[in-house]
Structure formats: structure tokens, C-alpha cells
Amino acid sequence: MTPPVAESLQAHLRVGDKLPPQKFGPFDLPHLARYAEVSGDSNPIHLDAGLARQAGLAAPPVQGMLLMSAFAPALAVWRPDLALQRLSAKFLRPVLAGDSINVSGRVVDVGGGRVTLRLMAHNEQREIVVLGEAVLGEAVLGEAI
Amino acid sequence: MLAERPLGTFTVRATAAQATAFAHETGNPEQGVPFTFPVRWLARPDFLAAAVEMIGDANWVPIHESQSFDYRAPLAVETDYAMTVTMQRETEPSRIILLANVGPAGGAPLLDMEMMLRIVPLPAGQAA
């Protein structure tokens, strides 16, 4: 007999469990242009080096949403049996075109059939560039997103 | 200071081709509507025009400060949904915030989104 979802999660996950680091990128300018196309993000600062300089950046910044979008596949690799339900992110520092990020995380709460993780993305200088939080559950949403 | 303006309710839809292209560029599984795909629906020229009007100036660039997605159920490709959007304006510091919910027309929302943009002024005559 399959144990209830809440029991199953609490039996297999603990506060402090880690989401293993995963690298995404490098995000080059052609990738930023393709993401702008598929996301509808027409903010020219991501593609125009001159405009980026006016905003005080040495190169166009990677779209924050492109960075945030790395969390979902990282979580899916970690626990393909769980469905992502909530995801939030704060963009702390710009990631410039050509750079990569490392995504990692840690379980901060398990209960009620859900697991909450604190997520981080670091740049190549090991600075935190995106801080996030994810809530995953089992089967509540049907198929994993 | 906070000002708020309802922007309306809009029909949104992720085509299979759009969802697949988005998934490919973000490394997400090519199945269903990618988790962060609905941000695309907030990239509308009329929303930008509303922001310009609320700010009272076009001489700025938006910098994405934060974003959240809160799903009650996944969205399906090739399906029409109703998206209701409200825009908020903060002045100290200068921000535009978009609040949106997405769901079947006349039904309960399946997704809540919040997008917070920091407004960075440009030198005069340098509108993005």
C-alpha cells in the first residue's frame, strides 16, 4: 500500500537536504536574443551594449527570467517525482552576457505534503545573483510542470 | 506612495510551438506550458504604455527586481485562459508592479503572478 503523500515526503526528505549544484550557461548574446524572442521580453538593455553602459553595466545583462527559469529544470532533475507549485525569485545582481550561473538549494521545510527549498544562483565569482524559494508537492497538480 | 490601476482582463493562450520554443531556450522539459512561460503574457505594448503614463515619463529602463508564480494547477497548451492584471506604481523607490491571475474564463484562478520592476532613469533624450 502506498503511504500518504505527507508521510512519504517526510520519510524521504529532511530539512537541510541539498539540491546539488547545477551549472547553466554560459548565456551568450545570441541566447539572450533567442530568449527575448520566445519570452516577448523586448527590453533593449538585454541586447544593446550601449544602453547597458548607460545603466552602468559593462555588458548587457542576462534576462532575470532566463536565470529564474533554470530553477525548474534543476528541481526536476533533483526530484522528478515532485511537482513544482510555487517559485519566487529576487534578482540581486546582474549576470552579464557570457557568464554562467550555478544553481543550488537547501530544504528548509517539509510538511503537509509539501517541501520548501531556499534556492540560490551564484555567478562565476561565487556571488549570489538570484535568491529564490520553491514549493514542491506530490501529485496535487497532476503532472509535474 | 502607491497608486494602482486595473489594466483589464485579457485572453491568453500558449501555442504548442511557443511552449516548445520557450522550453528549448530555458532547458525546461518540452511538455505542457513551461513554469515561467506566462511571464510572456505580461510583455504587452499596452502595459508598457500604461507604465509610461503612470510614471509620467518615457526616459527609463525597467530592471527586473523580483518575480513569483503560484500555481494551483498546471496550464495546458492550446487552451484559452483569462488573465486579469493590475499595475501598481511606487515612487520611493521608483517601481512598477504587475499583479496577474490566470484561469479559465469565469472560473477560479490557476495561477497568480507578481512582477516587480525597478525603474532606472536614463539621461535626457535617451529613452529606451
* Assembly ipTM: 0.92
3-class state of residue A129 by DSSP: strand
Q: What is the mean pLDDT of chain A?
A: 90
Q: Which residues of B touch A90 (CB under 8 A)?
A: 65-66
**How buried is residue A130: exposed, middle or buried, by Cβ count under 10 Å (0-12/13-18/19+)?**
buried
Are A79 and A137 spatial neighbours (Cβ–Cβ below 8 Å)? no
Q: What is the pLDDT of residues B48-84, one digit of tens each?
A: 999 999 999 998 888 899 999 999 999 999 999 999 9
Among A6-10, A55-59, A105-109, B124-128, the minimum mean pLDDT is found in B124-128
- pLDDT, mean of residues A108-133: 96
How many other β-carbons are positioned within 10 Å of the β-carbon of residue B65? 19
Task: Return d(Cα A37, Cα B24) in angstroms, integer.
Answer: 12
Smallest CA-to-CA distance from B102 within B36, B52, B3, B50 is with B36
Cβ contacts below 8 Å, chain A against chain B, sum to: 116
* Cβ within 8 Å, pair A65-B72: no
Chain A: which residues have CB within 8 Å of chain B?
24, 31, 34-35, 37-45, 51, 54-55, 63-66, 68-70, 72-73, 76, 83-91, 141-145
Q: Between B24, B40, B74, which is nearest A39 by CB?
A: B40
Residue A64 φ/ψ, nearest 5 degrees: -55, -35
> Rounded to whole angstroms, how far apart are CA atoms B56 and A78?
46
Q: What share of chain B is helix, strand, coil (3-state, %, to 5)?
A: 20, 45, 35
- pTM for the structure as a whole: 0.91
Average pLDDT over residues A85-99: 97
Q: How many CA atoms lie within 13 A of B117 on its CB side?
A: 26
Q: Are A138 and A7 in contact (CB under 8 A)?
A: no
Residue among B15, B31, B14 at smallest CA distance from B23? B31
Task: Enumerate residue ranges in chain B where pLDDT < 50.
Answer: none
Closest in A70, A90, A143 to B74, CB measured:
A143
Closest CB to A66: pick one of B26, B66, B68. B26
Is the separation of the CB atoms in A93 and A126 below 8 Å? no
Report how far apart, in Å, the C-alpha atoms of B122 and of each of A72, B72, B92, B96, B112 are: 34, 39, 17, 16, 31
